[in-house]
Amino acid sequence: MQIYFLLLAMNKPECDSFQNVESVELALNVLDGYDVRGKKIKVQRAEFQMRGEYNPALRPRKSKSEKEKMKKIQEKLFDWRPEKMRGERAKHERTVIIKNLFEPELFDREVHLIIDYQNDLREECSKCGVVRKVIIYDRHPEGVAQITMADAEEADLVVKLMNGRFFGQRKLTADTWDGKTKYKIDESEIDKNDRLKKWETFLETEEDSQREKTSETIEEKTTSKSEDKEEATREPKSKSQDEDTEMNQ
């Protein structure tokens, strides 16, 4: 939809456009006759005249990428978000960065400790509120962990709780994330393959251990059932046999 603004004092037409019909109706009702810096504006619907005959085959076709681009632009234009309230905290302030938590070489030796560290941090930080996410940047030389809380106030409590605290004889630092710094370390293909092999070994060991536990449990249950069955099949002495024994005595 398109409408024309005409500055009557200057007799100079200016053109603007709107995406949907509702916007045009609103512009016609509100802006027509509106005074702008002493100049009155005239708003009316644009009129289009076709030149020649209409041939659909000559209409330019948009590529798939152009259509997707246009769709994203429309979604962005129509996206409504409430304005940020005065004093409202930024989204990135919900995230806390903890440093000096570990040495990367530690996880090279014992891969499973990554999960242990995540669980320990989640359990400890849950004292301050709802923990949304815990990330261990196991390749970072500064031993970085990232904890995301439900809101900024809970993140502040995590900073107070963890900053200066000792963890395995290592003094931690905790601070609010600046929203920009990236802590993920890109690794070479050799390092990546080596790490994946260690994970595979760890998972295989866990599976073997689980199978052994399951096998032992089944064996214990089978043995217990066999013993119960043997005890149940033993025939108790009949009452007459007991009486005969007493008479003989």
Q: Looking at the structure, do residues 95 and 170 belong to the same domain, yes or no?
A: yes
Q: Within 10 A of 167 (CB to CB), how many other CB atoms are there?
A: 18
Q: Looking at the structure, do residues 106 and 33 belong to the same domain, yes or no?
A: no
Number of independent structural domains in the chain = 2
**Spans of the chain, pLDDT less than 50:** 1-3, 6-10, 18
Q: Does residue 187 belong to any structural domain of this protein?
A: no
Domain boundary among 176, 191, 208: 176
| Per-residue model confidence as pLDDT tens digits over 39-96 | 787 777 777 677 777 777 777 777 888 888 888 887 776 666 666 667 789 999 999 9
- In angstroms, the Cα distances linking 204 to 53, 111, 197, 199, 224 are 73, 13, 10, 9, 30
Domain containing residue 106? 91-176
Six token digits for residue 39: 């100049």
Domain boundary among 176, 203, 236: 176
Residue 200, SS3 per DSSP: helix
Q: Looking at the structure, do residues 107 and 41 belong to the same domain, yes or no?
A: no
Q: What is the dihedral of CA 59, 64, 66, 70, to 10 degrees?
A: 100
Q: Does residue 109 belong to any structural domain of this protein?
A: yes
Domain boundary among 136, 158, 176: 176
